[in-house]
Amino acid sequence: MSIAVDDLTRFDEQSAEEVLAWALDTYHPRLAISAAFLVEDMVVIDLAHKIDPGVRVFTLDTGRLPQETYQLIDDVRSKYNIDIEVQFPDASQTQALVRKHGMNLFYKDQALRLLCCQVRKVFPLEKALSGLDAWVTGLRRDQNVTRTNVPKVGVDHAHGDIIKINPIADWSKDRVLAYIKDNKVPYNALYDQGYTSIGCAPCTRPIQPGEEDRAGRWWWEDAATKECGLHHQSPSERFQEELAWLKDETR
């Protein structure tokens, strides 16, 4: 079902529950929540499940996730009776990447880090979205400088102009944590160890006093460019060259 672009701004005045209720009514079953199982994702899953227990949820298993994340995935399956749809990286691409650049290429150069994210996250995301008309994320505007203008509902031009829904875009961190506590929502055990944003194990650390919440993600890079390509793209010339090589190598 299509929606006029001019109508999208109206959702910024609606609550997360209202946005999700509209999205589920309009796009289910060709809608799914994308979950990395951060606290924001858990809020979205809990809200959506209360509206429609049949809501679809997918995740990207990069092959480098912390054990605590895998445990939470199983906890979510059990608590919500949701069959999590898991997408994996292409084996031939992953093998080619590691063969040329090593296991920890992401520390060497930002272009190589983005290439790793491309193989382990972006390409699997494209597969997950290929059969959908809309997807839902837990993005919030105050998470990072790259997310300050995130709308609650928008057109995702990077993925075939499907609808992208960010129902808690205007929520604060405190509101997210209060919801988790008040509603007894399960969350990743790493949050109790000083982590505030959790991705792949080698690219995530606890934050230090005074650091912003996403400082523990790719901490060796500049904050203005710290995205993996799922929600923001900033390809460099080297990245484009390496990506072209990879596609040719695994054609």
pLDDT per residue over 96-120, tens digit each? 999 999 999 999 999 999 999 999 9
Domain boundaries, the chain: 5-89+125-211
Q: What is the arithmetic mean of pLDDT over 3-32?
A: 90
Q: Which residues lie below 8 Å from residue 15, measured CB to CB, with a gap of 6+?
A: none
Q: In the structure encoding, which two tokens stand for residue 149, read together?
A: 């203008």
Condensed to tens digits (0 to 9), the pLDDT of residues 134-156 reads: 999 999 998 766 667 899 999 99
User: Which residues does residue 34 pair with via DSSP β-bridges, in sequence order?
Assistant: 58
Condensed to tens digits (0 to 9), the pLDDT of residues 209-249 reads: 998 888 899 998 876 665 555 555 566 899 999 999 999 99
Confidence of residue 84 (pLDDT cuts 50, 70, 90): very high
Instruction: Kindly list the catalytic residues.
Output: 228
User: Which residues does residue 141 pair with via DSSP β-bridges, in sequence order?
Assistant: none
| CATH top-level class of 5-89+125-211 | alpha beta
In this structure, the chain runs to a length of 251
Q: Which residues lie below 8 Å from residue 240, measured CB to CB, with a gap of 6+?
A: none
Q: In the structure encoding, which two tokens stand for residue 39, read together?
A: 């606290």
- Would you say 220 and 203 are in contact if contact means Cβ atoms under 8 Å apart? no
Q: Amino acid letter at 19?
A: V
Q: Which segments within 192-236 are labelled E, that is strand? A: none
pLDDT for res 78: 97
3-state secondary structure of 121: helix
Q: Which residues lie below 8 Å from residue 22, measured CB to CB, with a gap of 6+?
A: 11, 14
Cα-based distances in Å from 170 to 101, 139, 151, 234: 39, 9, 9, 24
Q: What is the arithmetic mean of pLDDT over 65-91?
A: 97
For CA atoms 133, 143, 180, 121, the dihedral sign is positive
3-state secondary structure of 153: strand
**Burial, 112: exposed, middle or buried (Cβ in 10 Å; 0-12, 13-18, 19+)?**
buried
- Would you say 148 and 141 are in contact if contact means Cβ atoms under 8 Å apart? yes
Strands 153-156 and 162-165: antiparallel
Question: For residue 32, what is the enclosing H or E element?
Answer: strand 31-34
**pTM over the 0.85 mark:** yes
Direct distance between the N- and C-terminal alpha carbons of the chain, in angstroms, rounded to an integer: 35
